[in-house]
Structure 1
């Protein structure tokens, strides 16, 4: 299956675009760069994992994507708290990232149950 057809990848790409839009006017370049990198890492690692040859390798990249999602949620909370991200936008993004994380966790469990090469 091509990664482009995966709902989790599609949603991760959409949330990444929304993060970029939310950060457009942010004047704190350090936070802006970190948040956008974390967001971009989620769909990128999903895609890279799906392009790997073994299930074990695929799972490793899904785990990295899950970690990036955790980073992004943390950074969004901080951005909201310090007033760099509008609350309703930030909490909406956090909710979507948490839903994507749940999808990633389900995929990790499914793929791990099919690993025969470990």
Structure 2
């Protein structure tokens, strides 16, 4: 991976954004969109995943970033649970359910690996960067 200069460069944020796009399509095209309470919960938890990645990145410190990645991982689990509810209520097709669960599992794994990296690295984050230093 090259140098990350903005949260949009992060693969985990890109994966989270794709999940949001998938959710939006389902809300428009399936009965899920008519179940306003569940649709609202799914919309909020999916958005929380990508928003927490962005906010944590913006904090500029690896310890804070790790915390926000943890929130994103929790929101991913919440979304998975909501997908089970939507599938059990027959609001989404089995193929849509399986796609979402697979996307969520992939993201959970990537978030976990990223969190592990942040715990093990000696780098502390951009806000700790010394003037003239090349690394974050």
TM class, shorter-length: over 0.9
| CA deviation vs aligned residue, 1:61-113 (integer Å, no higher than 9, x gap) | 00000000000000001100111112111110110111011000000010011
| Cα shift at 1:20 | 1.2
In the alignment, what sits opposite 1:4?
8
Q: 90, 95, 98: which one pairs with 1:91?
A: 98
Partners of 1:12 and 1:43 within 8 A in 2: yes
Q: 1 or 2 for the larger relative contact order (CA 8 Å, sep ≥6)?
A: 1
Q: Give the TM-score taking structure 1 as reference length.
A: 0.93
In the alignment, structure 2 segments of 5+ residues that lack a partner are 125-136
8 Å contact from structure 1 (residues 56, 115) kept in 2:
no
| Equivalence for 1:54 | 61
Uncovered stretches (5+) of structure 1, i.e. residues with no partner: none
Partners of 1:33 and 1:115 in 2: how far apart?
Answer: 40
Larger of the two Rg values belongs to structure: 2
Q: Which residue number in structure 2 is paired with residue 69 of structure 1?
A: 76
Give the TM-score normalised by structure 2.
Answer: 0.81
Please, which moves more after superposition, 83-92 or 27-36?
Answer: 83-92
